Copies of this chain bind each other. A is one copy, B any other.
Amino acid sequence: MTTGQMEEWRFPSHYNQDYLPEKDQPYWFPHRETMDPQERDAAVLVRLREVMEYAYAHSGFYKNKWDQAGLKPADITSFEAFEQVPVVTKQELRESQAEHPPFGDYTCIDDAEIHHIHGTSGTTGMPTAFALGRRDWQVIADNQARILWGMGLRPGDTVFVAALFSLYLGSWGAMTAAERLGCKVLPFGAGAGGGMTARAVTWLARTKPRGFYATPSYALRLAEVAEAEKIDPREFGLEVMFFSGEPGASVPKVRDAIANAFGARVVDCGTMAEMTPFMSAAATQGTPDGMLLWQDIVWHEVCDPQTFRRVPYGDEGTPVYTHLERTSQPMIRLASGDLTRWTMEDNPCGRTYPRLPEGVYGRIDDMITIRGENVYPIEIDNFLRGLDGYGGEHQVVVTRTGSMDEMTVRAECRYPDGDRADFARAGREGLQTVLGIRVTFEPVDANSFTRAEHKSRRVDDQRGIARNA
């Protein structure tokens, strides 16, 4: 066993709150981040068993689920055995909370240990409540401080957290991590309308932060508002912009648009709110493309969406996540419903983690099937951002006449009405090439569509097909 060599590796986790690496050191925990991946995996396997023993002892949810599947934590002596553990779905979590309100019987800590309550927005169905323990809150901050260090942030940097502070965990996770790192945090929040984005511009110009966190949609919105006020977003002096909540930061053209507007490095990160420390998938300063899977914080498996067994490196699949350090509501094989592709190669930064070269690029249920072809909305976004004259927003409408599906893309165009023929042709032909289907393409005036203050919703599928929540 190599666990003795791994910095601060024990369960439940307790990190030394005074620890900080030397400022010029690229790694927070050099050994854990650069060790032989097979040795790391061996340590993780032991940890998976420990986490399962803990969950089995402290939660009716996991005990019942695993008893029904006829398995015991002690059986998990190989990753093949672990891949037999049935996945947890968000629907199961909702049902558990309905039966055992408010936090569900997968909550493993006493009520008195709960420190923060957060939740999903509930825009699709009943919201899920998150109960985060005092120790977990600290461990999350520590884990994510480690990952912010990898992105190149350092003590004393000002970090502007632009995302809304409410039920949404993203902003809180970014803030506590930056606090743990010894940064100056400006927790601005946003989405409150009433000129808050214009105020964000004022405060960015005034405080000149080095780090910035938001959703990609919000960053693009912010650049537009700054430009409308005749302020070049490059004057903010941002260097490291990290994003979660949407796939945009790994969509090449969205990424370029943000990087160019702000003159900053764009870093993608994020898994799911349930999985916080959600930054366990995150790029680094030395490996800026896609996201590394920090396998000693959360165990990431990219799986076949039917069998939930891991696919080989190089293949596409759906992420399945397991907490290695959480004790309040540990997720063990949570099915994400997302889509990605993973690889295992030498990373320029020296970390020995697998990587998602294109990030998490969609959800299984985001996929739109048009006349038998599978279309991911993100492909449309990426194409339009590279189209000359594109005004920055679009809408996708899917309809059915008889048995015939039709997709209409309405895209904002910066050129005046009489001058859009080239734009219309390039859009129509380009989308046909990228998507492999014929699309109705309609240029509309710039600023026709509302900008998202948080996450964008651009697809209106009017066919009335039942979709997963």
Contact of A207 among B129, B158, B166, B203 (CB under 8 A): B129
Partner-contacting stretch, out of A192-200, A234-242, A405-413:
A192-200
Q: Which residues of B contact A362 (CB under 8 A)?
A: none
Q: Are B117 and A186 in contact (CB under 8 A)?
A: yes
Contact of A206 among B101, B111, B158, B206 (CB under 8 A): B101
- Which of A156, A166, A190, A199 has most chain B Cβ within 10 Å? A166
Beta-carbon contacts of A181-219 to B below 8 Å, as 1s and 0s? 010111111111110100100110011000000000000
Q: Given A166-B192, A192-B191, does the pair A185, B117 have CB atoms closer than 8 Å?
A: yes
Q: Is A455 located at the chain interface by the 8 A CB criterion?
A: no
Q: How far is the CA of A99 from the CA of B387 in the complex (A)?
A: 45
Q: How far is the CA of A199 from the CA of B129 in the complex (A)?
A: 13
Minimum C-beta distance from A206 to chain B (A): 5
Q: Is A70 located at the chain interface by the 8 A CB criterion?
A: no
Q: How far is the CA of A462 from the CA of B202 in the complex (A)?
A: 29
Contact of A166 among B102, B116, B187 (CB under 8 A): B187
Name A172's closest neighbour in chain B (CB-CB): B187
Name A110's closest neighbour in chain B (CB-CB): B156
- Chain A interface mostly: mixed
Beta-carbon contacts under 8 Å, A220-251 to B: none
| Given A116-B187, A122-B199, A166-B189, 18 further pairs, Cβ under 8 A | A111-B156, A116-B179, A116-B184, A116-B186, A117-B158, A118-B186, A121-B199, A127-B203, A131-B184, A164-B189, A165-B165, A166-B187, A166-B188, A166-B192, A167-B188, A189-B189, A192-B193, A193-B194
Q: Which residues of B contact A1 (CB under 8 A)?
A: none
A sample of 19 cross-chain residue pairs with beta-carbon separation below 8 angstroms, ordered by A number, consists of A102-B207, A111-B156, A112-B156, A112-B182, A114-B184, A115-B179, A117-B158, A117-B207, A127-B199, A131-B184, A165-B166, A165-B189, A166-B192, A167-B188, A167-B199, A189-B189, A192-B192, A193-B193, A193-B194
Q: Which residues of B contact A156 (CB under 8 A)?
A: 111-112
Q: How far is the CA of A119 from the CA of B158 in the complex (A)?
A: 15
Beta-carbon contacts of A119-133 to B below 8 Å, as 1s and 0s? 101100001010100
Q: How far is the CA of A186 from the CA of B188 in the complex (A)?
A: 18
How many copies the complex holds: the figure is 2
Which range holds the interface residue count of chain A?
35 or more
Name A116's closest neighbour in chain B (CB-CB): B185
Q: Are A155 and B112 in contact (CB under 8 A)?
A: yes
Q: How far is the CA of A118 from the CA of B206 in the complex (A)?
A: 12
Q: Are B164 and A203 in contact (CB under 8 A)?
A: no
Q: Which residues of B contact A184 (CB under 8 A)?
A: 111, 114-117, 131
Q: How far is the CA of A166 from the CA of B191 in the complex (A)?
A: 11
Q: Are B115 and A206 in contact (CB under 8 A)?
A: no
Q: Which residues of B contact A118 (CB under 8 A)?
A: 186-187
Beta-carbon contacts under 8 Å, A169-183 to B: 172, 179, 182
- Which of A117, A164, A179 has most chain B Cβ within 10 Å? A117
Q: Which residues of B contact A187 (CB under 8 A)?
A: 116, 118, 165-166, 172
Q: Are B115 and A166 in contact (CB under 8 A)?
A: no
Q: Are A127 and B207 in contact (CB under 8 A)?
A: no
Q: How far is the CA of A339 from the CA of B164 in the complex (A)?
A: 35
Q: How far is the CA of A187 from the CA of B121 in the complex (A)?
A: 14
Name A209's closest neighbour in chain B (CB-CB): B117
Q: Given A202-B127, A206-B101, does the pair A185, B111 have CB atoms closer than 8 Å?
A: no
Q: Which residues of B contact A119 (CB under 8 A)?
A: 203
Q: How far is the CA of A118 from the CA of B202 in the complex (A)?
A: 13
Q: Are A166 and B196 in contact (CB under 8 A)?
A: yes
Minimum C-beta distance from A295 to chain B (A): 31
